[in-house]
Amino acid sequence: MKKGNNKSHPIFQMKNPWDTHSHNVWLASTLSVSRNLSKFKFPAKLDKIHEEQVLSLIWEGFKTMPQLKNPVLYRSEEVGPLQKEFLLEHFLVPNGFHQAHAGEGFIIDESADFLAVVNLRDHLEMNVIDTQQEIEKSWNRLVQVEGHLSKSLDFAFNSRFGFLIADPKDSGTGLSVSLYLHVPAMIHTGELAELLEREKDEEVLAVGLQGKTTEMLGDILVARNTCSIGLTEEYILTTMRMWATRAVVAEISIRKKLMANNDEQMKNKVTRALGVLTHSYQLEVIEALNALSLVKLGVEIGWILAPEGLNLNQILFNCRRAHLIGISKEAIEIPDLPKRRAEYLHEIASQLKLAI
């Protein structure tokens, strides 16, 4: 397949995971399982010939996969930087694909919620994005996919340490779970720090999208399990679900207080955010996400009226660079992105009306 950044590329045509999403706080989850083939060195030590062998072996296993619908292999050298960025945005995965080169690849099926990455940090990393808060179901899907692959592939395993992963702390189950929670009420009332202190857990790390709590981009909190060695998959999933449930309950409780108290300070923040989306000539992604977050909160607590069917979760993620370019009807040059982002959000804001 020809490499390029044109918007007709199949990666840009993937099904949107937010089409049927409805949860206001728990936006999404990503589950990732890493595996390595027992007869090969880790990718960092592989030469080109063995990289191609690993890629071929893994792809052969996926081609006959009954659990996936029409999987497609995209070799890294055939995929442009913008498509790689789109994959990162779509699947909410933290691993950088921008340095991926020949011998590495991506496998995606028609569901657009499954991504396999070959020969990056590990021989195989399988990712599932879930927008229905069904992390156990997503895990079962990964189990089925791995079960099929294990019929033809021998994964590196040690009776003491479990599955062997390039990063030792990720060995054992090789399972990583990330939960994306939209918690603007907690952040803007100053109660997030209390939650994080109360829910402090060595097994769960809670940070912002940029990996720290000092800057919560889009008011999104990301909770991840810190390790997988010495723990069962069931324990990890239960721990993460319980953590998310407590955070969701806390956020909803604060939102109810804001409504009951008719909080004027928060009203001011929400209305100013709507003004930013309505009148800005240019918007960088950070400013856009932060304003959208407060507008989304305003809609969900009844301070802003929105037409039925307007999916603010989808809009929140669409204003990132690669997605914005992908949904644009016209070509966008990188310097023009702030202006086009503002125009896109003007259209959204024009459908909203203050109810306070």
Tell me how far apart the 2 most distant CA atoms of the chain are, in Å.
66
Q: Is residue 56 part of a domain?
A: yes
User: Do residues 256 and 248 make contact, with C-beta atoms less than 8 angstroms apart?
Assistant: no
Q: Is residue 211 part of a domain?
A: yes
Work out the average pLDDT over 322-337: 87
Pair (97, 189) in one structural domain: yes
Residue 352 reports pLDDT greater than 90: yes
| pLDDT value, residue 4 | 47
Kindly report, residue by residue over 88-118, the tens digit of the pLDDT. 999 998 766 766 577 899 999 999 999 999 9
CATH number at residue 149: 3.30.590.10
| pLDDT value, residue 94 | 72
Residue 118 and residue 242: Cα distance in Å, rounded? 32
Single residue among 221, 253, 285 that ends a domain in this structure:
253
Pair (201, 249) in one structural domain: yes
Pair (327, 214) in one structural domain: no
Where would I find the H helices in 64-188?
81-91, 135-149, 184-188
Q: What angle do the packed helices 285-300 and 337-349 form, to 10 degrees?
A: 10
Pair (201, 105) in one structural domain: yes
Q: List phi, psi (to 5°) of 318.
A: -75, -20
Single residue among 188, 222, 253 that ends a domain in this structure:
253
Angstrom CA distances, 298 to 16, 146, 302, 303, stand at 24, 43, 6, 5
Pair (158, 284) in one structural domain: no
| pLDDT value, residue 2 | 44
User: Do residues 84 and 100 make contact, with C-beta atoms less than 8 angstroms apart?
Assistant: yes
Identify the DSSP state of 303.
S
User: Which three-class secondary structure state does DSSP give residue 157?
Assistant: strand
The encoded tokens of residue 165 equal 């992963």
| pLDDT value, residue 1 | 40
Which residues form the domain of 315?
Answer: 264-354
Pair (296, 227) in one structural domain: no
Query: For the chain, what is the domain count?
Result: 2
Q: Is residue 70 part of a domain?
A: yes
Q: Is residue 165 part of a domain?
A: yes
Q: Is residue 104 part of a domain?
A: yes
Work out the average pLDDT over 264-273: 96
Pair (291, 245) in one structural domain: no
Q: Is residue 207 part of a domain?
A: yes
Pair (249, 281) in one structural domain: no
Pair (216, 330) in one structural domain: no
User: Do residues 112 and 15 make contact, with C-beta atoms less than 8 angstroms apart?
Assistant: yes
Work out the average pLDDT over 225-230: 89
The encoded tokens of residue 48 equal 């080109």
pTM above 0.75, yes or no: yes
| pLDDT value, residue 215 | 80
Exposed e or buried b per residue across 265-285, where buried means at least 16 C-beta atoms within 10 angstroms of its C-beta: ebbebbbebbebbbebeebeb
Q: What angle do the packed helices 135-149 and 48-63 form, to 10 degrees?
A: 110
Average pLDDT, the chain: 91
User: Do residues 221 and 181 make contact, with C-beta atoms less than 8 angstroms apart?
Assistant: yes
Pair (269, 249) in one structural domain: no
- With cut-offs at 50, 70 and 90, classify the pLDDT of residue 13: confident
| Strand order across the beta sheet in which 114-118 lies | 72-75, 105-108, 114-118, 124-130, 26-35, 175-182, 220-225, 204-207
| pLDDT value, residue 337 | 94
Residue 81 and residue 87: Cα distance in Å, rounded? 10
| pLDDT value, residue 30 | 96
Residue 114 and residue 112: Cα distance in Å, rounded? 6
- With cut-offs at 50, 70 and 90, classify the pLDDT of residue 133: very high
Q: Is residue 259 part of a domain?
A: no
Single residue among 226, 253, 280 that ends a domain in this structure:
253
Pair (200, 181) in one structural domain: yes
% of the chain with per-residue pLDDT over 90: 72
Q: Is residue 46 part of a domain?
A: yes
Pair (130, 198) in one structural domain: yes
Kindly report, residue by residue over 52-93, the tens digit of the pLDDT. 999 999 999 999 899 999 999 999 888 888 899 999 999 998
As to burial, measured by CB atoms within 10 angstroms (0-12 exposed, 13-18 middle, 19+ buried), residue 214 is exposed
